[in-house]
């Protein structure tokens, strides 16, 4: 837990950072999906806040899954869908979506889109972008 502002730790660019492959809860690489880590910070023991950029190529998707904490998605570019409670909701640039902790949801791209669907994912508690514990797939 930092008590001081440290620019090298507290300022990160999600457009210039290194892209990493995202993993499913079984450790497998999720095809067509990359992420770039943003800033994160430990708020108190066991509770971290953070943000990451998710880049989803046309035709890729996150199957129905949950997270250990709540998060907000902000659409940076293109459009896609979030599946919640049996319904697909279209998301477009500028849209925000709040997903409560442990609420099952899925995200998919528009398969006809020419550009990648990009979102910022803000989470509390935050899990590292390349962690296989970031989400848990559900049936």
Q: The pTM is what?
A: 0.88
Residue-wise pLDDT for 61-98, tens only, equals 988 988 888 899 999 999 999 998 889 999 999 999 99
| 137's tokens | 């797939």
Q: Is there a contact between 67 and 101 (Cβ–Cβ < 8 Å)?
A: yes
Residue-wise pLDDT for 9-60, tens only, equals 889 999 999 999 999 888 889 999 999 999 999 888 888 899 999 999 999 9
CA distance linking residue 64 with residue 26, whole number of Å: 14
Q: Which CATH number describes the domain made up of 22-137? A: 2.60.120.10
Provide the residue ranges of all domains of the chain, joining segments of one domain with +: 22-137
Q: Which residues share a beta bridge with 42?
A: 48
Nearest partner of 48 among 38, 36, 35, judged by Cα? 38
């Amino acid at each position: 837990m930092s008590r001081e502002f440290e620019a090298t730790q507290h300022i990160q660019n999600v457009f210039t950072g290194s892209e990493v492959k995202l993993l499913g809860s079984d450790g497998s690489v999720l095809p067509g999906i990359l992420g770039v880590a943003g800033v994160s910070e430990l708020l108190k023991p066991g509770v971290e806040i953070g943000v990451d950029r998710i880049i989803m190529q046309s035709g890729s998707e996150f199957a129905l899954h949950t997270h250990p904490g709540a998060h907000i998605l902000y659409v940076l570019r293109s459009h896609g869908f979030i599946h919640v409670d049996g319904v697909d909701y279209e998301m477009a640039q500028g849209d925000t979506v709040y997903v409560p902790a442990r609420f099952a949801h899925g995200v998919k791209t528009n398969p006809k889109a020419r550009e990648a669907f990009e979102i910022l994912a803000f989470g509390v508690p935050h899990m590292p972008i390349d962690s296989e514990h970031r989400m848990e797939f559900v049936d």
